[in-house]
Amino acid sequence: MLRRTLRTFAALLSPVLLNAQAQNPDWHKAFPAFRIAGNLYYVGTADLAIFVIHTLQGDILINTNSPEDAPALKKSMQQVGLKYSDITYLLTSHAHSEHDSALREIKKETGATVMVMQDDASDVESIAPGRPGIHVDRVLRDGYTVELAGVKLIAHHTPGHTKGCTTWTLRVLENNTVMNVVIVGGATVEAGTLLVNNKRYPTIAPDYLKTFSILKTLPCDIFLGAHGEYFGLKDKYARLKAGNANAFVDPNGFKTWVATKEQEFLTEWDRQKKSPGSPKK
């Protein structure tokens, strides 16, 4: 009994849960849905991004957010003329419950196929506080493609933020111009993270390095990511509404963001090397 209590206590202190508790007020705040470019739509909240890639044979969803956001997702899809029941594939950016815990409910309601990067699959399937657990229908690996009605997405394994963190790339056609889209899975080091002597994730630091080197190679016109704050959602949406059709075209913003996150990571890794065992504040 005591052992179980201690385990429960330890679980309460786990970084994932600490993160879930330190919620950003924008996480569950409604945000207008809109078309970003071509067949790509934003249907997430004011910070937790959900993207739809619309095809003639069904819709591909990247991220689901949590069950409490499900009514907002349905409303958002309606706002942009998409049908919730058309969701055919369910993809994820990384296995943190704020991004993926509605997978179970959406799969149940739409019959969509769930596809997750190998190293996140066990977390997605496991039942834990805030995680209902859902069977992964197709396990992905780095470079795998997801195709529907001629639309192709590439899954890039960009680990560190989670073991199976996934950056998605695709091309969209807008005004007869083909544009490269990058949807970053995550590259920030969250509070509570150990980069040195992390027993649950021993390769975390080299994994972050690998991720930064991959992100630097991706051609990018339209920069997006799992959180609105990564790519300046609110600001770019305001410019879009003000008439700037290219508000989300931001290749330099992508480069700057990757460089900034890499520097933040290196600084924190350096600090932890000097004081091992002290997690990110």
**How far is 200 from 217, CA to CA, in rounded Å?**
29
Q: Which is nearer to Zn ion, 54 or 227 (CB)?
A: 227
Our finding on whether 261 is near Zn ion (CB under 5 A) is no
Binding string, residues 21-60; x marks residues near Zn ion by CB under 5 A = ----------------------------------------
Q: How far is the CB of 117 from Zn ion (least distance, A)?
A: 14
CB 181, CB 172: distance < 8 Å = yes
Q: How far is the CB of 96 from Zn ion (least distance, A)?
A: 4
CB 232, CB 239: distance < 8 Å = no
Q: How far is the CB of 13 from Zn ion (least distance, A)?
A: 18
Q: Taking CB positions, which residue lies at the least distance from Zn ion? A: 96
**How far is 266 from 154, CA to CA, in rounded Å?**
28
Q: Which is nearer to Zn ion, 96 or 104 (CB)?
A: 96
Name which of residues 80 to 139 contact Zn ion (CB under 5 A).
96
Q: Which is nearer to Zn ion, 24 or 85 (CB)?
A: 24
Q: Which is nearer to Zn ion, 60 or 95 (CB)?
A: 95
CB 224, CB 182: distance < 8 Å = yes
Q: How far is the CB of 246 from Zn ion (least distance, A)?
A: 29
Q: Which is nearer to Zn ion, 96 or 236 (CB)?
A: 96
In terms of Cα–Cα distance, which of 268, 252, 54, 49 is closest to 153? Answer: 54
Phi then psi dihedrals of residue 152, to 5 deg? -125, 130
CB 265, CB 212: distance < 8 Å = yes
Q: Which is nearer to Zn ion, 96 or 156 (CB)?
A: 96
Q: What is the dihedral of CA 48, 54, 60, 66, to 10 degrees?
A: 30
Q: How far is the CB of 192 from Zn ion (least distance, A)?
A: 12
Q: How far is the CB of 99 from Zn ion (least distance, A)?
A: 6
**How far is 89 from 166, CA to CA, in rounded Å?**
15
3-state helix/strand/coil string of 166-191: EEEEEEEEECCEEEEEEEECCCCCCC
Binding region for Zn ion (CB under 5 A): 96
